[in-house]
Copies of this chain bind each other. A is one copy, B any other.
Amino acid sequence: MKDVHAEAPRAGLTLGRVGISGIAKPLSIQRPDRVVTLTVRFDLEVDLPAARKGSDLSRNAELLGEVVEETLVQPLSSLEAACGLIASELLRRHAYATRSTVRASAEYFRGRGTSARRQSLEEYGLFAEAQGLRGPGGEITTSRLLGGEAVGMTACPCAMETARELLSQEFPELREPRLASLPIVSHNQRNRTRVTLRLPEGVEVEVDRLLDAIEAAQSSPTFAVLKRRDEAEVVLTAHRNPKFVEDVLRDLLYDLPKRFPELPDATHVAAETRSEESIHKYDVVAAHSATLGELRGISRA
């Protein structure tokens, strides 16, 4: 049969990325204590040289199917390990390609709760990406990126201060020193924060450590099961720890070097936090990227 893909294109232009997008598969991952099966959505891409009309895309779906089938028998260690494996194998199967990218995202669950007795599986986001590179001598290297997203809660420190001033006019008792630490009403809302780490070669990072870092930076984590008293305690925790998105982002980034002392200074980090403002119909966001080395140099007030 005619190999249309291998023909010369009308316009001889190398293309940066050609691939398949949004293909869903179940993937089994070995967690410390159990095997979990994720429903993962993948993108798989390679570059395309100027002399070739089309990329052999059936290889992408075929390769993904093979990797997925194998994990159902022999689970992989992580989603980013699956991406790394696929990225390097993409370059083996597309001999004309020099770069490959694999992106994956999944819902992820872990048990959390306000007490040991009141645990529930909470929903998180799990992201991974791998890039494959074919070197000048033909050797294939891959780099991997791991990301996590956690939804928690923030209470606004500014509205709280202004509310305290307004309420103090009506309730002068609030100016007494004993009531200075009384949590005052503010707007609070869902906060959605994502952080990604570019992993050094050969290094594995447990995504739960990233999710813990995010939840520690929010005004409070949130939970599926809250009995009356738990609910009030989450509210109090959040209002005793009011934060702008700027605070969430800075506290998270400031904290990462201490949580990951084993990672080198060159490790690249990116984070974004989004506040689904209760007092506005739009969101408020803050985002920053840096190396761990830069973050290790931050001074703290």
Contacts and interface: CB of A to CB of B under 8 A. Distances in A.
Contact of A189 (B22, B190, B223, B244): B190
A179 B171 CA distance: 7
Contact of A162 (B21, B26, B229): B229
A134 interface: no
Contact of A1 (B165, B188, B235): B165
A254 B287 contact: no
A65 B224 contact: yes
A34 to B, nearest CB: 8
Contacts of A279: 153, 222-223, 226, 231, 234-235
Chain A contact residues, majority secondary structure: mixed
Nearest to A118: B62
Given A68-B121, A190-B276, A299-B12, A21 B285 contact: yes
How many monomers of this protein are in the complex?
4
B13 A254 contact: yes
Given A12-B300, A186-B235, A226 B121 contact: no
A47 to B, nearest CB: 9
A13 B290 CA distance: 10
Interface stretch (A52-60, A85-93, A140-148, A203-211): A52-60
A56 B37 CA distance: 32
Interface in A16-74: 16-26, 36-39, 43, 45, 48, 53-55, 57-58, 61-62, 64-65, 68-69
Contact of A167 (B155, B178, B236, B289): B236
Interface string A170-182: 0101101011001
A301 interface: yes
7 contacts: A14-B288, A17-B288, A20-B282, A24-B123, A26-B109, A48-B286, A185-B235
